[in-house]
Amino acid sequence: MSLLVVGSVAFDAIETPFGKTDKIIGGAATYITLASTYFTKKANLVAVVGGDFPASDIALLQSHGVNTEGLQIRENEKSFFWSGKYHNDMNSRDTLVTELNVLGDFDPIIPESYKDCEFLMLGNLTPAIQRTVIERLPKRPKLIVMDTMNFWMDIAWDDLMQTLSMVDVLSINDEEARQLSKEYSLVKAAQKILTMGPKVLIIKKGEHGALLFNKEQVFFAPALPLEEVFDPTGAGDTFAGGFIGYLAKTGDISFANMKRAIIYGSALASFCVEKFGVERLASLTDTEIQDRVQDFVDLVQFEITID
């Protein structure tokens, strides 16, 4: 089923203990769409870049099956740029540069051909823009998944609450879940957030895995223990892209299928961190993905007979 992804397509400059990059392709929607194309070839992108954005990077997305009809190119402006430096433990980073540029007044124009999309992934953007996307769709998608971050909780709370009330699945990290709910316990946080609109909540815990909640059930997917994390940039978006890509492929939004989608998302994220930027994510084979999913099965599988 067709997927619409809205979010940033951008330049990143990344420094880790293993090295540093010049400006490379980054942005939430880049990782989300690339990851999703391993499951669905109907990944429709809505984003904006400047005239400085290389045609080769757009071609990279297209070569993976991303439909870039909705990618606006503002010739005389500059692309969104983020630069960050990871600490030695890779769990924390400093933002060195954030230049909004074209993202500052992004108007998410949705091409006619996208308007029947059944799965909508709202990458991290201002909650007002995310809401505009929902409002511009003539028919509500079967599933709306939203990512956000602490920044919007700080400066756009009311907007965030309004957008949250309109989505089906929220994907955030553990600190964001605590900030949003004002609860330290993630179980209590989830209960509270599930009264704000979303029927399903994903709490990403980085190297500690991810939790999937609905009002009755909880599922935990571990992260794969890795020898080396080379660059964590984009791992959360890759996870989200794998998640919604798998749901769009199967068309099944049951909790049982969301569990599988979480495992596929986790598998893709475990590749993402192996190289800088999208390098590893852009070169996966189906066999590699299936083998990695098998690693997840092996990692958590046990046999217990409950008396």
Q: Which residues bind a second copy (CB under 8 A)?
A: 88-89, 184-188, 205, 208-209, 211, 217-222, 225-229, 256, 259-260, 263, 286, 290, 293-294, 297-300, 302-304, 306-307
Which CB, 131 or 249, lies closer to a second copy?
A: 249
Which CB, 109 or 299, lies closer to a second copy?
A: 299
Provide the residue count of the chain: 307
Which CB, 133 or 186, lies closer to a second copy?
A: 186
Q: Which two tokens stand for residue 240?
A: 């989200």
Q: Please, are residues 293 and 40 in contact by the beta-carbon 8 Å criterion?
A: no
In whole angstroms, how close is the CB of 208 to a second copy at the nearest point?
Answer: 4
Per DSSP (E only), the strands in the chain are 3-6, 10-16, 19-20, 24-26, 43-50, 66-74, 81-86, 93-99, 119-122, 143-147, 169-173, 200-204, 210-213, 218-221
In whole angstroms, how close is the CB of 290 to a second copy at the nearest point?
Answer: 5
Q: How far apart are CA 91 and CA 82, in angstroms?
A: 18
Which CB, 162 or 179, lies closer to a second copy?
A: 179
In whole angstroms, how close is the CB of 175 to a second copy at the nearest point?
Answer: 11
Radius of gyration of the chain (CA): 18
> What is the SS3 assignment for 167?
coil
Which CB, 76 or 184, lies closer to a second copy?
A: 184
In whole angstroms, how close is the CB of 242 to a second copy at the nearest point?
Answer: 13
In whole angstroms, how close is the CB of 286 to a second copy at the nearest point?
Answer: 8
